[in-house]
């Protein structure tokens, strides 16, 4: 893999200059020896924070930031959520479900996630060898690194299918790894997250300081993993572990994505201390106040919102200039510039509490625990404005449809996931893939060129050329 062939350059950045803006403790210039980094708690912490920083800036020399609207935007185009005012050639390929192995976005997502895995493996090995760390510190640091590796493997296997799974920082071992099947990848993800949960302290970080992994973040991701694996009982169990934690509460729609949000489970810091996020800049097309947002809601998605659903008013923005007039852009993050009047700091939020309610609702419904499932759906609907007085299509289910069948409740869950999670981290695309029906059936003609082989992206061409143990995904 290309990412593993540049390990020396990455390690120098990892242990030296990669931590400048967001780290409280900087590693001294010129210190590239991994063993020296792990000789103190301060420099070890700095190295870990450098990994997080790489996730907010695209990962050293890489220019793709997967969590910062790259997955949310492009897979929104690949599904039926979003359209684009003036798509680039790459975005057009996603929109038409016509990707190829030479795509820079395809290779960028791959390379960025593998950079996180490489850094995590290197960090894990260094911490395990270190004699300078007390046991609680060691455990927490390892738990965070295992979480980063787990979430990277989770996205890689859901985007590309069978993939190489490097679990060490050994270049010779990793450079020619064959792909592991998805079942094996999931097994490792579960193992990493279980370790992270056991290793990290149970206390949740304060709102406004949730830029690092925590036990709650590991529980949240594990709930999603179990949902994807159809282990309904464990999905509900791990979702409940977060829902029942008083540190996390559903925010108002306007404050969900603020940096101080109590709904946030894990966030990514804005580079340079900006009030606005890269995600907002991308979704808005750098137009102030989304006046002419480049990403726009598809007609299908717009039709899913009742007139009483406040998410339409607060999470989308009606265009006011250029080709944006009359269209709606996804505006979950409002702030597009530091100088905007009344700007409050926001942050990309890959894991948040509302998703956990919907995970548990689906898991309950699959176990035929329908009143509990309806209660969780209603928690999300009520926050969005549903009541017994709302539009007929948007009343609380406990009032309007208390006797709904299992099939109906599952349909309500999927509808709510679409309205609640649109444009976030590829949820709609992944929901289509795990639906159990062909993609053509799921999208019902809204994606006329889609084929079942489009469920996975192609393996990047450069990696196929440099690793002869890799094989291209079907359909490419």
Q: Which residues contact 44 (CB under 8 A, 6 or more apart)?
A: 37, 38, 126, 127, 130, 132, 133, 141
Name the strand (E) or helix (H) holding 163: strand 163-164
Output the pTM of the full model: 0.93
> How far, in Å, CA of 267 to CA of 78, rounded?
25
Contact 4, 171 (CB under 8 A): yes
The count of other CB atoms within 10 Å of the CB of residue 61 is 11
Residue 134 falls in which region: left (phi positive, over 0), alpha (psi -120 to 50) or beta? beta
Per-position pLDDT tens, the chain of length 476: 443 333 333 333 344 333 333 323 344 333 335 678 999 999 999 999 999 999 987 533 446 889 999 999 999 999 999 999 999 999 999 999 999 999 999 999 999 999 999 999 999 999 999 999 999 999 999 999 999 999 999 999 999 999 999 999 987 888 899 999 999 999 999 999 999 999 999 999 999 999 999 999 999 999 999 999 999 999 999 999 999 999 999 999 999 999 999 999 999 999 888 999 999 988 888 777 788 889 999 999 999 999 999 999 999 999 998 888 999 999 999 998 999 999 999 999 999 999 999 999 999 999 999 999 999 999 999 999 998 887 778 999 999 999 999 999 999 999 999 999 999 999 999 999 999 999 999 999 999 999 999 999 999 999 999 999 999 999 99
From the centroid of its chain, how far is CA 177? Answer: 26
Contact in structure between 168 and 121 (CB atoms under 8 Å): yes
Q: Residue 164 belongs to what H/E stretch?
A: strand 163-164
Find out whether 56 and 22 touch, Cβ atoms under 8 Å. Answer: yes
- DSSP-derived secondary structure letter, 469: T
Q: How many CA atoms lie within 13 A of 189 on its CB side?
A: 26
Characterize the bridge pairing of strands 295-297 and 316-318: unpaired
Q: Evaluate whether 52 touches 212 at the Cβ level (below 8 Å).
A: yes
Rounded CA separation 107/313 (Å): 36
Query: Phi then psi for 198, rounded to 5 degrees?
Result: -75, -30
């Amino acid at each position: 893999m290309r990412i593993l062939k540049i390990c020396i350059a990455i390690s120098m950045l990892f242990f030296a200059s990669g931590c400048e803006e967001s780290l409280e403790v900087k590693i001294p210039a010129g210190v590239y020896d991994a063993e020296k980094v792990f000789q103190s708690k301060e420099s070890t912490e700095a190295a870990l924070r450098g990994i997080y920083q790489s996730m907010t800036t695209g990962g050293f020399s890489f220019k793709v930031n997967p969590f910062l609207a790259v997955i949310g935007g492009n897979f929104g185009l690949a599904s039926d959520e979003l359209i684009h005012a003036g798509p680039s050639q790459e975005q057009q390929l996603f929109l038409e479900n016509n990707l190829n192995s030479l795509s820079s976005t395809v290779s960028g997502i791959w390379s960025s996630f593998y950079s996180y895995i490489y850094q995590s493996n290197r960090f894990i090995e260094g911490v395990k060898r270190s004699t300078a760390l007390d046991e609680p510190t060691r455990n927490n640091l390892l738990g965070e690194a295992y979480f980063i590796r787990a979430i990277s493997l989770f996205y890689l296997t859901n985007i590309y299918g069978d993939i190489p799974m490097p679990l060490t920082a050994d270049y010779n071992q990793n450079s020619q790894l064959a792909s592991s099947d998805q079942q094996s990848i999931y097994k490792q993800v579960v193992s990493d997250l279980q370790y992270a949960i056991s290793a990290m302290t149970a206390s949740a970080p304060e709102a406004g300081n949730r830029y690092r992994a925590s036990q709650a973040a590991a529980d949240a991701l594990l709930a999603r993993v179990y949902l994807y694996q159809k282990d309904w009982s464990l999905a509900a169990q791990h979702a409940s572990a977060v829902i029942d934690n008083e540190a996390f509460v559903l925010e108002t729609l306007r404050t969900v994505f603020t940096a101080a949000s109590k709904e946030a489970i894990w966030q990514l810091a804005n580079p340079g201390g900006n009030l606005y996020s890269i995600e907002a800049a991308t979704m808005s097309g750098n137009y102030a106040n989304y006046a002419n947002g480049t990403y726009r809601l598809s007609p299908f998605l717009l039709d899913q919102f009742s007139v009483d659903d406040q998410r339409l008013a607060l999470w989308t923005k009606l265009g006011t200039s250029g080709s944006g007039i009359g269209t709606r852009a996804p505006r979950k993050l409002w702030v597009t510039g530091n100088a905007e009047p009344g700007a409050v700091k926001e942050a990309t939020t890959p894991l948040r509490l509302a998703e956990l309610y919907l995970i548990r609702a689906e898991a309950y419904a699959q176990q035929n625990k329908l009143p509990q499932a309806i209660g969780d759906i209603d928690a999300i609907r009520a926050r969005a404005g549903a009541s017994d007085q709302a539009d007929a299509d948007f009343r609380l289910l406990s009032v309007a449809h208390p006797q709904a069948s299992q099939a109906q409740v599952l349909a309500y869950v999927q509808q709510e996931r679409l309205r609640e999670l649109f444009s976030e981290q590829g949820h709609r695309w992944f929901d289509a893939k795990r639906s159990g029906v062909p993609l053509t059936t799921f999208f019902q003609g809204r994606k006329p060129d889609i084929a079942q082989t489009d469920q996975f992206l192609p393996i990047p061409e450069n990696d196929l050329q440099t690793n002869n143990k890799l094989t291209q995904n079907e359909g490419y």
